[in-house]
Chains A and B, each alone.
Chain A
Amino acid sequence: MSYQLLVVLSFVLFVIGMIGVAMRRNIIIVLISLELMLNAVNILFVAASKYLHTMDGQIFVIMVITIAAAETAIALALVVKIFKTVGMVKIDDMKKLKW
């Protein structure tokens, strides 16, 4: 369980999430991929916290979790609003800014 291995794992997970954000057209799956990217970063923070013997990384993970929760709430509220307005949850349908 070396540090390099954890960095590689975190990087791989981040890239998988990034592929999801870039390639999926369903807005809910895009949001899920966003959460997965944040989670991959959290793994890296905790790994660095373990190998540097300091608590700063773990404190930062708590902050990231807080921001992620607020972000998810707002994003899902937006999804509901878009669904009520446009009637679809595909990203390609969101071309207009007016409602």
Chain B
Amino acid sequence: MINHVLFYITAVLLVLTYTYAVIAGNPVYSALAMGGAFFLTSFLFVLLGAPFLAVVQVIIYVGAMLVMFLFIIMMFDLNRSSSAPVKYKPSTIFSYVLTMIILLVAFYMARGVVKMPEGFTVVGFGSAENVGFNLLRYYLLPFELASFILLVGVFGAITFIKKRDRV
């Protein structure tokens, strides 16, 4: 029952964040809404019994892709003045407090003071062990091909960016 309620809340929030990411006028807001949508998707993955994919989703999409998008957007919006003094709105203070709480919880969790909830360690369907077993046992060739595609991606990006030598 609680799963159903969580699923409906997540679905509605997903549609809202998707819509905002598409209609937002500022690319920064669009990228941030995309990050929110990826977080919600990882939550949906947990509900659907794929905890390993949820972690991968957060690490790759939010950790790498969102930062890459924001990097490019910030590179382009240089004409906007960035030297305005920081105003301490309530939302700013709230975000600072939230960050401090998250850092404290992470710190005490790493020290072992705060224990993981019972039954959080994942075994069986969708666990890291299961995914890794399937990946290396039945899908070894696509796995290697994916790594090769990443290598090609690196070469492609460097080739686009680097200055051409004039001969």
List residues of chain A with CB under 8 Å of any chain B CB. Answer: 1, 5-6, 9, 12-13, 16-17, 19-20, 24, 26, 28-29, 31-33, 35-36, 39, 42-43, 46-47, 49-50, 53, 55-56, 58-59, 61-63, 65-74, 76-81, 83, 89
Contacts and interface: CB of A to CB of B under 8 A. Distances in A.
Nearest to B59: A65
Contacts of B72: 28, 76, 79-80
Q: Is the interface of B mostly helix, strand, loop or mixed?
A: helix
Q: Which of A9, A20, A32, A62 has the largest number of chain B CB atoms within 10 A?
A: A32
Contacts, number: 153
B21 A32 contact: yes
A59 B139 contact: yes
Interface of B: 3-4, 7, 11, 14-15, 18-19, 21-22, 24, 27, 30-31, 34, 37-38, 41, 44-45, 47-50, 52-53, 56-57, 60-61, 64-65, 68-69, 72-73, 75-76, 125-126, 130-131, 134-135, 138-139, 142, 146, 149-150, 152-154, 156-158, 160-161
Given A9-B14, A39-B41, A71-B153, A65 B61 contact: yes
